[in-house]
Amino acid sequence: MRSRLAVVTAAVATLATVALAQNVAVIKERQDHLEAMGKAVGKVGKMFKGEDDFDLGKVQETLKLIQDKVAVLPKLFPDDSKTGEDTEALPAIWESKKDFEDRFAKLADAAKAASVAITDEQNFVDEWPKVVDNCKECHKKYRKPKD
């Protein structure tokens, strides 16, 4: 009887560890994608502010990266990834999942439109805010505020 209890206890502990590992893995994966996107957007943001010279190639590269990342990101918020790994995701994500996912689609559309519209620095100044405003609005509703 004791050995059977020990086996069951070990199995439950193993399953709990596997479940936790999956949770941590998906949180880490989405954090990596979001961090890469944030770094790229930050570099282009410096161009927008006039802190760096305009580089159309880097802008286009960033817009492509945004499109690639937002194609993957909605799948990286499963129900078992609400907590852990210092996630900045707010519970509102899971309470308003459709709106949250729609915001990724809207960002993808804005990045795609900008990639066509931005051909020079003037177009960039006009179009870039249309992309990053999507980021700001989503962060406001679905991300823990930075201290």
Check residue 15 and give its pLDDT.
46
Check residue 4 and give its pLDDT.
64
pTM comes to 0.83
| Low-confidence spans in the chain with pLDDT less than 50 | 7-8, 10-21
Distance of alpha carbon 95 from the chain centroid: 17
Check residue 19 and give its pLDDT.
44
Structural domains in the chain?
2-142 (1.20.120.10)
Check residue 18 and give its pLDDT.
43
Give strand ranges (E) for 2-80.
none
Measured distance CA(99)–CA(97) in Å, rounded = 6
Residues 6+ apart with CB under 8 A from 70: 104, 105, 107, 108, 111
Residues 140 and 92 sit within 8 Å (Cβ to Cβ):
no
